[in-house]
Amino acid sequence: MHDRRLSRGRLGRSAVVVATVAGLLGAPAPALGGPAPQPPAIAVSSPSAILTEAGSGQVIYEKNSHERRSAASLTKLMTLVIALEAVEQGRARPDDEVVASAHAASLGGTTIFLAQGERFSLADILKSVAVGSANDAAVALAEHISGSEQAFVEEMNRKAAELGLSDTRFANSHGLDAEGQYTSAHDLAVLARYAVNVPGLLQLTSIYHDEIKGHRKSAFHLDNFNKLLVFYEGTDGLKTGYTDRARACVAATAKRGETRMIAVILGSTSGAVRQTEVERLLNYGFANYQSVAIAGRGEAAGSPVAVLRGTSFFVQPVAAGAFGVAVRKGQTEGLQRKVQQEGRVEAPVRQGQVLGYLIVTRGEQELGRVALIAPQDIPRAGFANLAWGLLRRLFWPASGD
């Protein structure tokens, strides 16, 4: 998904259309005697934490969320994103055979005890990282995707920059303590919001128990350290972690109905504290907020944009991703959606090119926005196409593509 920004200056020729969200989603829920009461403050002893609603990215609660810290195996969330996007791009296949290097086999901590030269399918290695949090599998995965762990780490850092993770730098693919490796609760929440939409990721992180075998005589059992999968309704990810430097960490997501929450805890004194406090954050979110769906990924929004000198006269913008906003329960009234888009663009138009934004507001407050993009390439037209187009516009001015 492209996330190139369109400055307000570039939208000088833009069309702006405003509609009430209620008109699109049905009548708002009846008022319950005024605004909902302010929920009590959340008590979180862990040094850094954040709670966000996934559809809009709205921050509901944060504590030292930009503080740079070690995050242990939460690093593997980016490892999974890079690997699964490589599969989506055709750079790798689930049935690829992954061969463990000496470097991968040398990793300590949580492992699947890879031996040098041992072979597993990429699908099994992905499960070993997502479910078993195996450090050796993370390195084997990195080497298979990029040729070396260092090259893979460079991909991780490029992705971090693309997502705007300004408090993040990766030094390895597994998360064991390393100099110069850090992130923040805020950055992990942004990464998690992106990750939940990566094809195949939640299917992996929602597995509580599985096994792999490869060429071994007996199966190796994988058990997820994320106990929320068993004990917290709606949980389908994402990662836990622990090292002496990072202490107990978790990036968790759960969905109930149409509402998805993301909570990150860093630096807890124990796994038990981590578990209690991440549940407290999620409970707070689900008790007090609800998601309002605005547009699905690829859904048409706004008006067709005129394409100058293109093989098509118009391009219909679509939402770059699933989009919604978080509102206090019982306060869905008063939401409006505004389309801010280009009036015309010049060919060639690239698939994914940003043509505008779909913005949701209440009064003067912007609650969230999603980029509107071109769903396909529109090449620049040759002379014959341009001449034909001119004739069509002269003699059939109401026609269009």
Task: Give the model confidence (pLDDT) of 255-265 as tens digits.
Answer: 999 999 999 99
Buried residues in 301-323 as b, exposed as e (16+ CB within 10 A): bbebbbbeebbbbebbbbbbbbb
Specify the higher pLDDT residue, 12 or 186: 186
Q: Please tell me the distance from the alpha carbon of residue 150 to that of residue 170, in angstroms, as a whole number.
A: 10
Alpha helical stretches, state H, 147-270: 149-162, 185-195, 201-205, 228-231
Is residue 35 very low, low, confident or very high in pLDDT (cuts 50, 70, 90)? very low
Q: Please tell me the distance from the alpha carbon of residue 352 to that of residue 74, in angstroms, as a whole number.
A: 30
Contact 327, 290 (CB under 8 A): yes
pLDDT above 60 for 25: no
Residues of the chain with CATH 3.40.710.10: 48-268
pLDDT of residue 40: 56
pLDDT of residue 392: 57
324-365 pLDDT tens trace: 888 888 888 889 989 999 889 999 999 999 999 999 998 888
Which pTM was predicted? 0.81
Q: What number of other Cβ atoms are within 10 A of residue 340's Cβ?
A: 19
Three-state secondary-structure class, residue 55: coil
166-193 pLDDT tens trace: 999 999 999 999 999 999 999 999 999 9
| CA 4 from centre of chain | 16
pLDDT above 80 for 101: yes
Record the tokens describing residue 99, joined without a space: 């061969």
Q: Is the dihedral of CA 262, 265, 270, 273 positive or negative?
A: negative
Residues of the chain with CATH 2.60.410.10: 9-29+294-395
pLDDT above 50 for 33: no
pLDDT above 60 for 154: yes
CATH topology of domain 9-29+294-395: Peptidoglycan synthesis regulatory factor (PBP3), Domain 2 (2.60.410)
Quick one: what percent of the chain has pLDDT higher than 70?
85
| DSSP assigned state of 113 | -
Q: What is the average pLDDT across 203-211?
A: 98
pLDDT above 80 for 151: yes
Q: Could you tell me whether strands 344-346 and 209-212 are parallel, antiparallel, or unpaired per DSSP bridges? A: unpaired
Q: Which CATH superfamily is domain 48-268 in?
A: DD-peptidase/beta-lactamase superfamily (3.40.710.10)
Quick one: what percent of the chain has pLDDT higher than 90?
73
**Left, alpha or beta for 149 (phi > 0: left; psi -120 to 50: alpha)?**
alpha
pLDDT of residue 330: 84
Q: Please tell me the distance from the alpha carbon of residue 131 to that of residue 206, in angstroms, as a whole number.
A: 8
CA dihedral 43, 61, 49, 278 (to 10 degrees): 60
Q: Which residues, at least 6 apart from 289, have a Cβ–Cβ distance to it below 8 Å?
A: 53, 60, 259, 261, 326, 327, 328, 329
Contact 293, 347 (CB under 8 A): no
Q: Could you tell me whether strands 97-99 and 305-308 are parallel, antiparallel, or unpaired per DSSP bridges? A: unpaired
What are the catalytic residues? 73, 76, 133
